[in-house]
Amino acid sequence: MKAAVYYKTGSPSVFRYEDVPDPSPGPNEILVKVEAISIEGGDTLNRLQGELGSVPHIVGYQCAGTVLSSGPSARFANGDRVVTVGVDGSHAELRAVPETFAWKVPEALPVEEAACVPVPFGTAHDCLFEFGHLAEEETALIHAGASGVGIAAIQLAKGAGAQVFATASSDDKLQRLKELGLDEGINYTRDDFVAEARRLTDGRGVDVIVDSVGGHTLQGSINALAYRGRCISVGDAGRSAAERIDISSMRPNNQTFSGYFLGAELLLRPSAYTMIAGLLETIGRGDLKVVIDRTYPLSDAAAAHAYIESRQAFGRVLLIP
């Protein structure tokens, strides 16, 4: 099969488009013909400085396609359309994954949109509700609103009856997010998001903050919390080094800080699998929207990663084998 591989971590230029051996599925795995690959933020971070599970290495969490062979269970049959997640291996023409990390794609949902669902929508849902306990008429602040998790979280929070704020790097992105449910946007390149969050809540602060940026932004998120507010840290998209954070204000304000990783939930909490299946059905009915910015051929993975890192993308960027 063909795959986008690299032999060392680094900039997008490390990618090579090469022939590699076909994967061999184990007894509880399915072999999938990949038809659409959603590039996740973690994919670019792993390519930059992650561990090499093999050399050459095939990066990538998430993709969708058609089952070519399945294991002994009745969960999938040859010919089923599925979306899959895994620690790596999505940037290729074929992928072998455990059945427990794959979901059937609803009939009405295009495979390209299905490829964008489990990681961003599952992460957003858990951050808001499983860990953030977001309730109707509360406030939510979503960092990196134009990202996959951001776009998902804005829609989910609005659907739950919350007042929704988000940060983004341009007024144009914030305006487009209003079509998805955003109430108030904060251009972080121009405005202090902590001060803006306080202003928008009449000084009270925000009930739930989903922080996918990390670095120094994380301290600001804690400072922007309301009494009994909840901050969920879900990534380091800002690419700045981790910093010590001051949590001295959290105890007297009965606030909560949580870290989140979807992979652990899928391994240890079976209801997370069901939650993602439900999100696929909801998106298939048209009640939530997947936003795809643009697509690239798999052979052009370097350009696709470079485009994401330019921070121009609004929504998902796909690779098509």
What is the set of domains in the chain, with CATH numbers? 2-116+290-320 (3.90.180.10), 119-263 (3.40.50.720)
Q: What is the pLDDT of residue 237?
A: 64
Across the range 188-211, mean pLDDT stands at 97
Residue 148 phi/psi, 5-degree rounding, is -60, -50
In this predicted structure, the answer to whether residue 74 has a pLDDT above a threshold of 80 is no
Q: What is the pLDDT of residue 73?
A: 73
In this predicted structure, the answer to whether residue 241 has a pLDDT above a threshold of 80 is no
| 62-69/29-38 β-pairing | antiparallel
Contact 24/215 with Cβ under 8 angstroms? no
Across the range 109-129, mean pLDDT stands at 98
Q: What is the pLDDT of residue 215?
A: 87
| Residue the block writes with tokens 């080094």 | 241
User: What is the signed CA dihedral for 188, 190, 194, 195, rounded to 10 degrees?
Assistant: -160
Q: What is the pLDDT of residue 235?
A: 83
The C-alpha atoms of residue 273 and residue 40 are separated, in whole angstroms, by 19
Least confident of 70-79, 216-225, 252-261, 295-304: 70-79
Q: What is the pLDDT of residue 244?
A: 84
Across the range 104-122, mean pLDDT stands at 97
In this predicted structure, the answer to whether residue 132 has a pLDDT above a threshold of 90 is yes
Q: In terms of pLDDT, which residue wins out, 236 or 1?
A: 1
Residue 130 phi/psi, 5-degree rounding, is -70, -40
